[in-house]
Structure 1
């Protein structure tokens, strides 16, 4: 059984996720095998700036018909290849009631008290969204219309606006099954029907679910079922029930982990991660669930992954070497503050400042100022 240390794993992930050498075609990036999370405006464009030769603005990227934005993994918005959206939808059908309930995450208690099963409530909402969303609509308008069509237990009374709404996580999880996507580049959120959307079926597809686990292990491996479950928003038991074939066992600093067997040579011969990149919050590299491997120091983990308001991360020579934040001055100047975790050599600092220029371009700023904390 091959044995590797964390540095070798990080070098493999840098290369596997397209950070080692910039590419020319966004659709060819491996990160789209899982999806590119876009929780905040411009984060997707900044992730692409770290991986592509050309710097694309958010506006130019969102107009590319090869991609579609939808609520998918864990109910979070992700860009996917449009041609693969049906496979993503199939992979997100719960494999049982325990799986459906686990995906409710922070609203699990409300769903448990709803008087209907999580699966029943999820697909009642999916059918309602399929019926309601026949054109571009605001999220609020969709919520109002769908709330009238779902079981009462799947709704709640909002004190702030004195209205009844469908549970937000139920709506997010149901949208993809109802053939509903998000409008790219629109804020506040707007929803629209997916072109050629199929009828709502809710038929589980273990093979499709296994494909997502395989993609996770390829991009974030070697890893285990617990880490894959954390990404998909379900339980390790559910992930093990659709565990893909053809995996190699690997020991990472003595811990058993798994990787697609065909990727083992790439792990054993990972190139030196001799690059500097500025990664936005929720960049794929930061989505690995074994955070202690990414950043062994717990205090530094808390600097990167916060409860609210994550910063970006500075990747240097395979290590997460610091954080960065920005403050815009209108749409003219972007103020950068980079905070390294340790003293960085002058060439690394210079490379980070060059990356800041790429980030500013991706976000549509013509000027920037970089400061080091």
Structure 2
């Protein structure tokens, strides 16, 4: 079993994520094989694309080649529109235990509903398909579908001060019902996708396995538990039913992990990560579940991955070297960088250049970078 160093793993992932900027077409980016998460209101998906293409002219939000929908873990992700119909069966749980894990429900909750967990998901999907025949805000769609589903599928919501369909159930059922999200809409707005595909009758196990394989390709070497964390299931289900074949086993930092065997040579000899990037909150690179490998210091992890309001990450020479936040004032953007360690002047100059790209993506004419003490 080969032993690989942490620096090799990070360099491999940086290359696998396309952060060396080898191409300019967002549809060709490897991260779109898994999907690019959208953190609403901050152009994060377009910033993730710009970090990989170096261009501010390419926007997932305005490109009809991409579909935004609640997919992995019920979070909004952009996917290639041509691949979206085929993704839906791969999102359907392989069994009732998988459905409970993805919903975050206890078995007693499914028993109270009087139906198996996968049937709960199908019931919600059928009701959503009936309720949402045109663009509807999330609130309106929730109210409409709540009137159709059995009472046991609804919950009292303290924030809304109302009873409505369980939030995660609605998020997981919406894509199965052929519903996407309108990019940039506030509040969140659901809309039927063109040619509205049928609700999957059963799980696409090879497709779901392909999702796990893609995770291992982008975020590997990784474990079954880490892949399960991304898709929203359990380690036992991923390892027992969705684990790909033809994987290479390696040892990283004293633990065993896997990646596709055809990527082993790239892992052993990755290109030097001599680059500086301002990664947005929710960037695909930050979606790896082994956060301690990305950022070993616990306190720094807490700065980067918060419950709400995550900052962006400064990637410099193979390491996450700090965080950044942006504040707009008219046509001017101010980016505040909080480095984890002192940075050479050359790195700071490259951060300033990347800040210009961030401002261009966000539509601001001027940008100022603020450093500690400035």
Q: TM-score scaled to structure 1, two decimals?
A: 0.95
Residue 178 (structure 1) shift: 0.4
Residue 255 (structure 1) shift: 1.4
**Does residue 53 in structure 1 map to residue 54 in structure 2?**
yes
Residue 208 (structure 1) shift: 0.7
The equivalent of 1:352 in structure 2 is 351
**Does residue 318 in structure 1 map to residue 324 in structure 2?**
no
The equivalent of 2:298 in structure 1 is 298
Q: CA RMSD in A?
A: 1.6
For residue 259 of structure 1, give the secondary structure of its aligned residue in structure 2. Answer: strand
Give me the whole-angstrom Cα distance separating, in 2, the residues matched to 1:105 and 1:139. Answer: 21
Residue 96 (structure 1) shift: 0.7
The equivalent of 1:262 in structure 2 is 262
Give me the whole-angstrom Cα distance separating, in 2, the residues matched to 1:180 and 1:65. Answer: 15
Residue 108 (structure 1) shift: 8.4
Contact 1:132–1:145 (8 Å) recurs in 2: yes
Contact 2:55–2:357 (8 Å) recurs in 1: no
Contact 2:100–2:106 (8 Å) recurs in 1: no
Residue 162 (structure 1) shift: 4.3
Give me the whole-angstrom Cα distance separating, in 2, the residues matched to 1:367 and 1:308. Answer: 28
1:61-76 aligned within 5 A: 61-76=60-75
1:1-373 aligned within 5 A: 1-41=1-41, 42-56=43-57, 60-105=59-104, 113-240=112-239, 241-329=241-329, 331-373=330-372
Contact 1:49–1:358 (8 Å) recurs in 2: yes
Give me the whole-angstrom Cα distance separating, in 2, the residues matched to 1:212 and 1:222. Answer: 15
Give me the whole-angstrom Cα distance separating, in 2, the residues matched to 1:303 and 1:319. Answer: 15
Deviations 1:231-260 (A, max 9, x none): 000001111112111111111123111111
Give me the whole-angstrom Cα distance separating, in 2, the residues matched to 1:123 and 1:316. Answer: 45
Unaligned runs of 5+ in 1: none
Contact 2:92–2:200 (8 Å) recurs in 1: no
Give me the whole-angstrom Cα distance separating, in 1, the residues matched to 2:161 and 2:227. Answer: 39
Q: Which stretches of structure 1, 4 residues or longer, exceed 2 Å deviation after superposition?
A: 105-118, 157-164
Give me the whole-angstrom Cα distance separating, in 2, the residues matched to 1:137 and 1:323. Answer: 36
Aligned positions, number? 370
Residue 105 (structure 1) shift: 2.8
Residue 85 (structure 1) shift: 0.8
Contact 2:72–2:91 (8 Å) recurs in 1: yes
Residue 22 (structure 1) shift: 4.4
Residue 6 (structure 1) shift: 0.6
Deviations 1:41-97 (A, max 9, x none): 20001111100132136xx43221110000000000000001111232111110111
Give me the whole-angstrom Cα distance separating, in 2, the residues matched to 1:33 and 1:247. Answer: 18
Give me the whole-angstrom Cα distance separating, in 2, the residues matched to 1:31 and 1:299. Answer: 28
Contact 2:89–2:200 (8 Å) recurs in 1: no
Q: TM-score scaled to structure 2, two decimals?
A: 0.95
Residues 111/350 of structure 1: CA separation in 2 closer, same or farther (3 Å cut) = farther
Contact 1:210–1:243 (8 Å) recurs in 2: yes
Unaligned runs of 5+ in 2: none
Residue 323 (structure 1) shift: 0.3
Contact 2:70–2:172 (8 Å) recurs in 1: yes
Residues 218/112 of structure 1: CA separation in 2 closer, same or farther (3 Å cut) = farther
Residue 267 (structure 1) shift: 0.8
Residue 137 (structure 1) shift: 1.2
